[in-house]
Amino acid sequence: MKHLVFHLSFQNNKKYKMKRLFLSISLLVLSKFSAQTWATEDQYIQKFAKYAVEEMEKYKIPASITLAQGLLETGGGQSRLAQEGKNHFGIKCKEDWTGRTMKHTDDAPNECFRVYDDPRQSYEDHSIFLSTRKYYANLFKLDMRDYRAWATGLKKAGYATNPRYASILITKIEKYKLYEFDNTSSNEVLYAVLKMYPDLKDDRTFMAQLDPSKAVKKAKDPVTVEVPYKQTSYAQQQKRVERIKTKAEILNSILIKSHPNDGLKYIVIPEDTDVKFIANKFKVSEGRLIKWNELEGETLKKNDIVFLESKNSTGNTATYKAESGEDMHDIAQKFGIKLNKLYAKNRMDEGQQPSAGQLIYLIDKKPRN
């Protein structure tokens, strides 16, 4: 009997220790994740608050609103559009854009987005977009320091489809006290940042941007002169705090999307991989994936579109102009249409490729000459 009691006691104690260990590890992981998110968003504010204030002075858009939108659109500067295209507000090409472009999946696969040489251009383009569109005209009748009214007005004007868009912006503004930037000027914005983040006084790169002649006036502690060389660039700061994802983690985070063509299920490949990995992850046979996507091999490249069910016989729009370097398979994947049906509709031989600007029929067949 004593032996049994001792055994049960030992087992319970062991389970208790295991639970405590699991809880400790969970809390540690969560704390690291929270710290990384905090650091990423705060560094975004430190980097781009000046741009938001400059735009406020030129276009009368609250800096708090612009900065909150940038934070939200880029995920704290981490989005592909922001990093590769310096596009911080998801502005698409449209007909009047003559600059560089990049493909990115948003409302539809591989949509055309503007690429900027500098994020500052993206900020100004965003200001021009709001100030010249008639849908947003009523916003400029609001008090420029009433960020709540601006957030609500943006949602009512149709800026975003998310019903919680206004409350999300307001939460960002109040969490990070972005309303402070609505009451500052472009000459003083860096001192406002320093007031919010006093640890930046150890950042030589940041401090170098400050005007020493104004330091005594703007800060009780004139730290601009006697600051040790300690910090480097914003990019290096990010490297230090970011949690770098492995290729496996990136691949395992793939989300199933709904295609505009009848809601077909598809994914966008985030890193080079193979058909076998996707088949195992989504519980679909390799043969079906190859057949449904008309694949010639088993290698999948980054940004490839892969359907998880059979595509349709027609597209969701009547016609499309082929872009330079685009083949028929690319177009078939973009619009969720079977490749053989696409060839038939355009009276083209299989293997034949379109020329840049060629009109491709997606629903009805090309008329005979």
Residue 369 within a domain: no
Judge if 36 and 94 occupy the same domain: yes
Q: What is the DSSP letter of 36?
A: H
Burial class (CB in 10 A: 0-12, 13-18, 19+), 176: buried
Sign of the alpha-carbon torsion through 211, 217, 218, 221: positive
The percentage of the chain sitting over the pLDDT mark of 90, rounded to a whole number, equals 41
Q: Which residue has the higher pLDDT, 31 or 256?
A: 256
Q: Which residue has the higher pLDDT, 369 or 39?
A: 369
**Is the pLDDT confidence value at 239 over 70?**
no
pLDDT for the residue numbered 39: 56
Average pLDDT score, the chain: 79
pLDDT for the residue numbered 200: 77
Burial class (CB in 10 A: 0-12, 13-18, 19+), 104: buried
Pairwise CA distance, residues 315 & 334, whole Å = 9
Q: Would you state the torsion angle of the CA atoms of residues 144, 149, 153, 159, taken in this order, to the nearest 10 degrees?
A: 80
Q: What is the pTM of this model?
A: 0.52
Judge if 135 and 157 occupy the same domain: yes
3-state secondary structure of 313: coil
**Is the pLDDT confidence value at 78 over 60?**
yes
Pairwise CA distance, residues 320 & 125, whole Å = 27
Judge if 237 and 300 occupy the same domain: no
Residue 63 within a domain: yes
pLDDT for the residue numbered 199: 80
Q: What is the mean pLDDT of residues 317-335?
A: 89
Report, in this order, helix, strand and coil percent for the chain, each rounded to 5: 50, 10, 40
Residue 9 within a domain: yes
Judge if 14 and 93 occupy the same domain: yes
| CA dist list (Å): 154 to 50, 65, 138 | 22, 10, 10
pLDDT 10s digits, 217-238: 444 443 333 333 334 444 444 4
Judge if 78 and 216 occupy the same domain: yes
Sign of the alpha-carbon torsion through 82, 88, 92, 97: negative
The pair of structure tokens assigned to 190 is: 């860096």
Residue 314 within a domain: no
**Is the pLDDT confidence value at 274 over 50?**
yes
Q: Given pLDDT bands bounded at 50, 70 and 90, which one contains residue 208?
A: low
pLDDT for the residue numbered 59: 92
pLDDT 10s digits, 50-62: 999 999 999 999 9
Pairwise CA distance, residues 354 & 365, whole Å = 16
pLDDT 10s digits, 138-168: 999 999 999 999 999 999 999 888 889 999 9
- Cα angle: 296, vertex 110, 136; to 5 degrees: 170
Kindly report the length of the chain: 369
The one-letter code for the residue type at 224 is: T
Contacts of 273 (CB under 8 A, 6+ apart): 251, 300
Q: Are 200 and 207 in contact (CB under 8 A)?
A: yes
Range of the domain at 324: 319-361
The percentage of the chain sitting over the pLDDT mark of 70, rounded to a whole number, equals 77
The pair of structure tokens assigned to 37 is: 């998110």
Pairwise CA distance, residues 78 & 245, whole Å = 12
Q: What is the mean pLDDT of residues 171-186?
A: 94
Judge if 258 and 150 occupy the same domain: no
Question: How many domains would you assign to the chain?
Answer: 3
Judge if 135 and 35 occupy the same domain: yes
CATH number at residue 142: 1.10.530.10
